[in-house]
Amino acid sequence: MKYTSSHWGSYQFEPGGPLLPLASDPDPSRIGRGWASASQDRQSRILHPAIRLGWLDGDRGRNRCGDSYVTVSWDRAIALAADALGETVAAHGNGAVFGGSYGWSSAGRFHHAQSQMRRFLNLAGGCVSARNTYSHAAAEVLYPHILGLSNKAFQDQMTAMPLVAAHCEVLLAVGGISRRTAQITSSGTTTHEVGSWLEQMRANGTRIIALSPARSEAATEWLSIRPGTDTACLLALAHEIHSAGLADEAFLARCTSGWETFRDYLTGAADGTPKTADWAAPICDLDAQVIRDLARDLAVSKSMIAVAWSLQRAEYGEQPLWAGLALASLIGQIGQPGTGYAFGYGSTTPVGRAARLIPWPSMPQGRNPVDDDIPVARIADMLLHPGGIYKYDGKTRTYPDIKLIWWTGGNPFHHHQDLNRLEEAWTRPETVIVNDHSWTATARRADIVLPATSPLERDDILMNRRDPTLLWMSRYHAPLSEALDDYEIFARLSETMGFGDAFTEGRDTAGWLAWLWERSQEVAHAHGFALPDLNSFRAAGRFDIPDAAQARIALADFVANPTTHALATETGRITLTNAGIGALGLPSCPGHPTWIEPTECLTRAQPDELHLISGQPDTRLHSQNDRGSEALADKIKGREAASFHPDTAAERGLIAGDIVRLYNRRGACLAGVRLNDGLRRDCVSLPTGAWFDPQIVQGERLEVHGNPNALTRDAGCSELSQGNIAHSCLVRAEKWTAAVPELTIDTPPVVAP
Ligand SMILES: Nc1nc2c(c(=O)[nH]1)N[C@H]1C(S)=C(S)[C@@H](COP(=O)(O)OP(=O)(O)OC[C@H]3O[C@@H](n4cnc5c(=O)[nH]c(N)nc54)[C@H](O)[C@@H]3O)O[C@H]1N2
Ligand SMILES: Nc1nc2c(c(=O)[nH]1)N[C@H]1C(S)=C(S)[C@@H](COP(=O)(O)OP(=O)(O)OC[C@H]3O[C@@H](n4cnc5c(=O)[nH]c(N)nc54)[C@H](O)[C@@H]3O)O[C@H]1N2
Ligand SMILES: [Mo]
């Protein structure tokens, strides 16, 4: 038996046989069903190195979006890429090279695309990088201030979900809780357990209340809140608990700071507006009595306030996180088993996994000599405004002037918001180089395209610090055509640029895998167990870590003794009011949790506008495997399906299977129509990840495949975190009655050499 692994799960196969989910995985992901077909699809894989015609003609990027390509030999592609980098650095310095290259690439410890690229660019003198993520930037910036913990550290100590199942009576799932997103683990997983924890909760009688515009299949109750208004609801819950005299004053005094100031805001003493249930009800479109009842139930039960990651991918996205933490503080059950406050249950598999954490080694990337970066979602701003000033986490910063972009293992023409704006920005640099295995929308907007192998084409090791199992990943099929491993691509580039030995240190892939295994053996030893030698591991394919279970309770030490285990915040306590943030004077992120009406919100929409929810797709990881069988089978007339409440569809004359045009002032896209009575009437849900395919149709620029980022707004959550605001977006919808345009994204953009 051989094994391989991915962010959506692990697989076993006999050579030549089908790829099957690991027999020990209780709940394999559906995403994997489309993996092998996507990896072997010659229409979407990049088969040869390719160069954009306009770039060869010296257009310096003007025609970068929509051009054709000629294929070239590897030698020529490597020479062109090395020259472009060398010339950029000579003329403008390494501060003109952008290697932020955000993206999930693939699992496997060695062939991690960004690590390979950073190791190469660092040896070439460095690059401007990117900080934070599209997943949870607001949390990454906010938590150190209010909790004294990085988001990663907080995630690592997240209260184990089995403890929630054992102890919690009321789980308020803000943003819902879903097996859809729980299919995924960054770096790979060998098991999916979120579904079974949720079943256990239901069996134990835990109320799982989804506060969300969409029903959660796992929830026992659904409070259908208007998107973007959760902060108002959470504040009202806190107000009602306080005014009923149910707040845990002892906990507030012992473990928090700034309660008095926050309380004055809640009661209206500060601004004349008490944040009552009656105040919140019309904002959130919830019944005031329902909010009051929930407040009481939360206060008198064993309760957990769990906020989904999606909540902060929105304008003022810091606020619901902070308001949720404040609410949990009033309830006073933080630090106890199965109750308190959590962030991201179900958003990926391992959040709340009771796993032993083992810091496995990774590929050394070296040091970046360039000390400059941007908050990751400010890429278009950076390209459009070199030298421009912006605020971030209390600092005033300047955008660099980028002449060359290198992207490896990410797809900004999937992940960024307002892709029409990104297209404009993307024409500014002189050169764009992309390594990918597939002709994604980003590869189709590069000047030099370097075909990488897919993970099914190489050996690697799955090691994830939160996973109970190590796997030797074996090649499943031979590399398609001329694809090379990213490692090999960067090794050849390094050789050409004169630092080949520094990059490879004399090792080939097998040599590095052995090197990683030796380091892993040392790590295991330090944790009290032994790993087999490499040959035995490779033969067995799998190693299960002993005593892998370890249930944690977030903030337990701190709550047990707030003085000895003071948090690294300005007061050593959970800050319900934060003087440091307040002193920044940011209207977009004041000094305590605050309701601020988003720019695009149904509270101020026209009657025919809908709120667009663009969550993660059930059939893919973002844009990965979009051309695989599972994602294709889910499309409607080849388009991504948008879900509407049946009444909303009927009002617009839409029936299931129709094609709809979604539009706003930023753009328009087509999508298939699906009906879902588990969605609010004033919302439309279009998952992310359909390969971006903009065309001019009837004189209009129209994305014809169903990519929601043709519509979303490109702005920061706030001037604190500058995270993306994908979920804050209004659109209109109308039936598409003309002929449905052909896709262009399903054929390679290559002309004969
Ligand atoms: N509207 C909207 N937009 C969103 C979101 C949302 O909620 N709504 N969510 C955001 C979030 S949370 C995220 S994390 C981002 C995700 O955005 P990305 O991480 O950029 O999305 P992926 O499709 O996973 O892109 C990974 C790319 O790496 C390539 N790749 C895979 N393996 C390899 C390899 O070994 N070598 C090379 N060279 N390439 C490889 C894949 O082909 C793919 O093109 O999207 C964000 N965008
Ligand atoms: N299948 C699959 N799973 C994935 C991924 C994938 O691509 N595919 N990507 C992974 C990644 S990178 C990430 S970051 C996580 C993201 O995990 P999440 O951020 O938890 O997932 P989303 O799909 O963005 O969440 C969308 C849900 O949030 C709710 N929601 C949206 N707006 C609001 C709002 O204003 N208020 C409330 N209360 N609820 C709202 C809606 O119910 C919607 O269904 O998912 C991971 N899991
Ligand atoms: Mo993400």
* Residue-range domain boundaries for the chain: 47-132+406-454+478-506, 137-356+555-583, 602-746
Q: How many CB atoms lie within 10 A of CB 525?
A: 11
pLDDT band at residue 487, thresholds of 50, 70 and 90? very high
Nearest C-alpha neighbor of 429 from the set 390, 399, 389: 399
User: Is the predicted pLDDT of residue 595 greater than 70, yes or no?
Assistant: yes
The answer to whether residues 9 and 29 touch, using CB atoms and an 8 Å cutoff, is yes
pLDDT per residue as tens digits for the range 172-226: 999 999 999 999 999 999 999 999 999 999 999 999 999 999 999 999 999 999 9
Determine the Cα–Cα distance for residues 659 and 105; give it in Å rounded to an integer: 32
The answer to whether residues 355 and 160 touch, using CB atoms and an 8 Å cutoff, is no
| Residues in contact with 723: Cβ distance below 8 Å, sequence separation at least 6, in sequence order | 132, 134, 136, 137, 138, 140, 141, 312, 313, 317, 375, 377, 716, 717
Determine the Cα–Cα distance for residues 33 and 680; give it in Å rounded to an integer: 30
Q: Which residue has the tokens 């080949």?
A: 500
Nearest CA to ligand 1 atom 19: 103
The answer to whether residues 308 and 144 touch, using CB atoms and an 8 Å cutoff, is no
Determine the Cα–Cα distance for residues 28 and 50; give it in Å rounded to an integer: 37
Give how far the C-alpha of residue 622 lies from the chain's centroid of Cα atoms, to the nearest Å: 9
Ligand 1 atom closest to the CA of 411, numbered from 1:
20
| Residues in contact with 146: Cβ distance below 8 Å, sequence separation at least 6, in sequence order | 322, 325, 569, 574, 575, 578, 581
Residue 753 has what pLDDT? Answer: 63
Rounding to the nearest 10 degrees, give the CA dihedral for residues 24, 25, 27, 30: -120
Q: Which residue has the tokens 């080939």?
A: 508
- Based on the residue annotation, tell me whether 517 is a catalytic residue of this protein: no
Distance 416 CA to ligand 1 centre (A): 10
Q: Is 374 helix (H, G, I), strand (E, B) or coil?
A: strand
pTM over 0.75: yes
Q: Which residue has the tokens 């994830």?
A: 464
Determine the Cα–Cα distance for residues 584 and 184; give it in Å rounded to an integer: 37
Nearest CA to ligand 2 atom 33: 227
What DSSP designation does 644 have? E
Distance 616 CA to ligand 2 centre (A): 5
Determine the Cα–Cα distance for residues 9 and 247; give it in Å rounded to an integer: 43
Q: Which residue has the tokens 């089995």?
A: 162
* Pairing of the two strands 221-223 and 207-211: parallel
For the domain with range 47-132+406-454+478-506, which CATH number is right: 3.40.1030.10, 3.40.50.740, 1.20.1250.20, 3.40.50.1980?
Answer: 3.40.50.740
Instruction: Write out the H or E segment, with its range, that includes residue 684.
Output: strand 683-685
Average pLDDT over every residue of 235-257? 98
Residue 180 has what pLDDT? Answer: 96
- Based on the residue annotation, tell me whether 102 is a catalytic residue of this protein: yes
pLDDT per residue as tens digits for the range 53-73: 999 999 999 999 999 999 999
Beta bridge partners of 451: 436
Determine the Cα–Cα distance for residues 655 and 404; give it in Å rounded to an integer: 47
Determine the Cα–Cα distance for residues 436 and 70; give it in Å rounded to an integer: 16
Distance 583 CA to ligand 2 centre (A): 32
pLDDT per residue as tens digits for the range 550-567: 999 999 999 999 999 999
Provide the b/e sequence for 589-626 (b: ≥16 CB within 10 Å): bbbbbbbbebebbbeebeeebbbbbbbbbbbbbbbbbb
Ligand 2 atom closest to the CA of 346, numbered from 1:
20
3-state secondary structure 467-515: CCEEEEECCCCCCCCCCECHHHHHHHHHHHHCCHHHHHCCCCHHHHHHH
What DSSP designation does 690 have? S
Burial of 239 (0-12, 13-18, 19+ CB in 10 A): buried
Dihedral sign for Cα 356, 360, 366, 368, please: negative
Q: Which residues line ligand 2 (CB under 6 A)?
A: 31, 135, 174-176, 180-181, 183-184, 211-214, 225, 227-228, 230, 308-311, 314, 347-348, 613, 615-618, 621-622, 727
> CA of 604: how far to CAs of 364, 599, 600, 610, in Å?
50, 8, 7, 11
What DSSP designation does 295 have? H
Determine the Cα–Cα distance for residues 581 and 591; give it in Å rounded to an integer: 5
Average pLDDT over every residue of 259-286? 98
pLDDT per residue as tens digits for the range 82-110: 999 999 999 999 999 999 999 999 999 99
Secondary structure E strands in 588-648: 610-613, 641-644
pLDDT per residue as tens digits for the range 664-708: 999 999 999 999 999 999 999 999 999 999 999 999 999 999 999
Average pLDDT over every residue of 605-627? 98
pLDDT per residue as tens digits for the range 381-408: 999 999 999 999 999 999 999 999 999 9
pLDDT band at residue 11, thresholds of 50, 70 and 90? very high
State which amino acid sits at residue 244: A
Determine the Cα–Cα distance for residues 341 and 158; give it in Å rounded to an integer: 9
The answer to whether residues 661 and 693 touch, using CB atoms and an 8 Å cutoff, is no
pLDDT per residue as tens digits for the range 138-180: 999 999 999 999 999 999 999 999 999 999 999 999 999 999 9
The answer to whether residues 35 and 628 touch, using CB atoms and an 8 Å cutoff, is yes
Structure token digits, residue 488? 């090999």
Secondary structure E strands in 532-589: 542-544, 574-575
**DSSP letters for 204-226:** TT-EEEEESSB--TT-SEEE-PP
| Residues in contact with 657: Cβ distance below 8 Å, sequence separation at least 6, in sequence order | 636, 637, 672, 673
- Our mutation pick for probing the ligand 2 site, out of 212, 625, 709, counting the most ligand atoms within 8 A of Cβ, is 212
Residue 73 has what pLDDT? Answer: 98
Average pLDDT over every residue of 436-452? 98
What residues pack around ion ligand 3 (CB closer than 5 A)? 135
CA angle 44, 50, 53 (to 5 degrees): 115
Determine the Cα–Cα distance for residues 150 and 43; give it in Å rounded to an integer: 42
Ligand 1 atom closest to the CA of 313, numbered from 1:
7
> CA of 122: how far to CAs of 98, 248, 402, 410, 662, in Å?
12, 52, 17, 19, 43
Determine the Cα–Cα distance for residues 256 and 264; give it in Å rounded to an integer: 15
What class, spelled out in words, does domain 602-746 have in CATH?
mainly beta
Distance 417 CA to ligand 3 centre (A): 13
Beta bridge partners of 347: none
621 CB near ligand 1 (under 6 Å): yes
- Our mutation pick for probing the ligand 2 site, out of 184, 233, 321, counting the most ligand atoms within 8 A of Cβ, is 184
Structure token digits, residue 694? 């903009």
User: Is the predicted pLDDT of residue 307 greater than 90, yes or no?
Assistant: yes
The answer to whether residues 545 and 565 touch, using CB atoms and an 8 Å cutoff, is no
Residue 385 has what pLDDT? Answer: 98
pLDDT band at residue 547, thresholds of 50, 70 and 90? confident
What is 137-356+555-583's CATH number? 3.40.228.10
Which ligand approaches the C-alpha of residue 186 most closely?
2
Distance 144 CA to ligand 3 centre (A): 20
Determine the Cα–Cα distance for residues 349 and 191; give it in Å rounded to an integer: 8
Give how far the C-alpha of residue 418 lies from the chain's centroid of Cα atoms, to the nearest Å: 17
Residue 751 has what pLDDT? Answer: 84
Burial of 67 (0-12, 13-18, 19+ CB in 10 A): buried
411 CB near ligand 1 (under 6 Å): yes
Distance 361 CA to ligand 1 centre (A): 24
**47-132+406-454+478-506 with 602-746: one CATH topology?**
no
Structure token digits, residue 711? 């519509």
Instruction: Write out the H or E segment, with its range, that includes residue 731.
Output: strand 730-735
112 CB near ligand 1 (under 6 Å): no
Q: How many CB atoms lie within 10 A of CB 218?
A: 23
Percent of the chain at pLDDT > 70 equals 100
What DSSP designation does 416 have? S
Determine the Cα–Cα distance for residues 7 and 661; give it in Å rounded to an integer: 32
Burial of 303 (0-12, 13-18, 19+ CB in 10 A): buried
